[in-house]
């Protein structure tokens, strides 16, 4: 029986190492491609910066943004979205209050859409706390000097921050075109103590 000599064993080992290297390289390349595709078309992480969405979202919280959902349907009232504002060279996180064709009015704590006051359970406790302290929860009404027309154009949404007196939103920057909507915030995943699914609250 022939026994492989040392040179043959070395060459066989080198071939196995080369095959293993190619296999691992392929796995890494595929993982990078899949990660890029997911980040580009499906999900992306977003870091909350600022207090405009308090008391529901806080600075440095990290959320998962679903970028696919609005390929299936347009944003709906009550959903929390991440959007790009070219005039501010920044991405914002805000809540959808009204959509194309709706007539919007904001007077103090009361928001009306098409003439009907909407329920906003996501800020009810904050409004109650402000009243107990004899302060006003919202000082920025709408229509405004910046946006005098209260009717949302088709293909746009009207958004506001939950922290109404401390939010730069559609009352100042105008209606948001659907093309500038990045996706829907679906999950707070960091810090772990705050981790929770973001359930859309219908603002109706």
Asked if 82 contacts 188 with a C-beta cutoff of 8 angstroms, the reply is no
Rounded to an integer, the average pLDDT of 69-95 is 92
**Whose CA is closest to 112, among 97, 127, 123?**
97
Q: Which residues are catalytic?
A: 52, 94
Query: Over the chain, what is the mean pLDDT?
Result: 86
**Over the stretch 14-49, which tens digit does the pLDDT of each residue have?**
566 667 766 676 666 555 554 554 455 556 899 999
Report residue 202 as tokens: 């219908």
* Distances 32 to 23, 29, 98 between C-alpha atoms, Å: 14, 5, 38
In angstroms, the first-to-last Cα distance of the chain is 85
Beta bridge partners of 113: 104, 116
Beta bridge partners of 92: 83
- CA separation for the pair 30, 98 (Å, rounded): 41
- CA separation for the pair 94, 160 (Å, rounded): 6
**Over the stretch 127-185, which tens digit does the pLDDT of each residue have?**
999 999 999 999 999 999 999 999 999 999 999 999 999 999 999 999 999 999 999 99
147, with CB counted inside 10 A (0-12, 13-18, 19+), is middle
pLDDT of residue 87: 81
pLDDT of residue 6: 57
pLDDT of residue 37: 46
pLDDT higher at 10 or 160: 160
Q: Which residue has the tokens 């914002």?
A: 92
């Amino acid at each position: 029986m022939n026994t492989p000599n040392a040179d043959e064993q070395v060459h066989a080992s080198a071939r196995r190492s080369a095959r293993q290297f190619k296999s691992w390289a392929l796995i890494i390349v595929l993982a990078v491609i899949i990660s890029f595709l997911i980040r580009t078309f499906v999900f992306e992480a977003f870091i909350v910066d600022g207090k405009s969405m308090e008391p529901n979202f806080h600075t440095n919280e990290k959320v998962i943004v679903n970028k696919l959902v609005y390929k299936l349907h347009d944003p709906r009232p009550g959903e929390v979205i991440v959007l790009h504002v070219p005039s501010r060279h920044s991405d914002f996180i805000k809540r959808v209050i009204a959509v194309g064709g709706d007539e919007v009015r904001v007077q103090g704590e009361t928001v009306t859409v098409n003439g009907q006051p909407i329920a906003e359970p996501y800020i009810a406790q904050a409004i109650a706390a402000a009243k107990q302290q004899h302060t006003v929860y919202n000082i920025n009404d709408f229509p405004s000097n910046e946006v005098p027309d209260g009717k949302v154009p088709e293909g746009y949404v009207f958004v506001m921050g939950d922290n109404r007196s401390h939010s730069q939103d559609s009352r100042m920057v105008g209606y948001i075109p659907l093309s500038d909507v990045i996706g829907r915030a679906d999950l707070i995943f960091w810090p772990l103590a705050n981790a929770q699914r973001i359930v859309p609250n219908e603002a109706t």
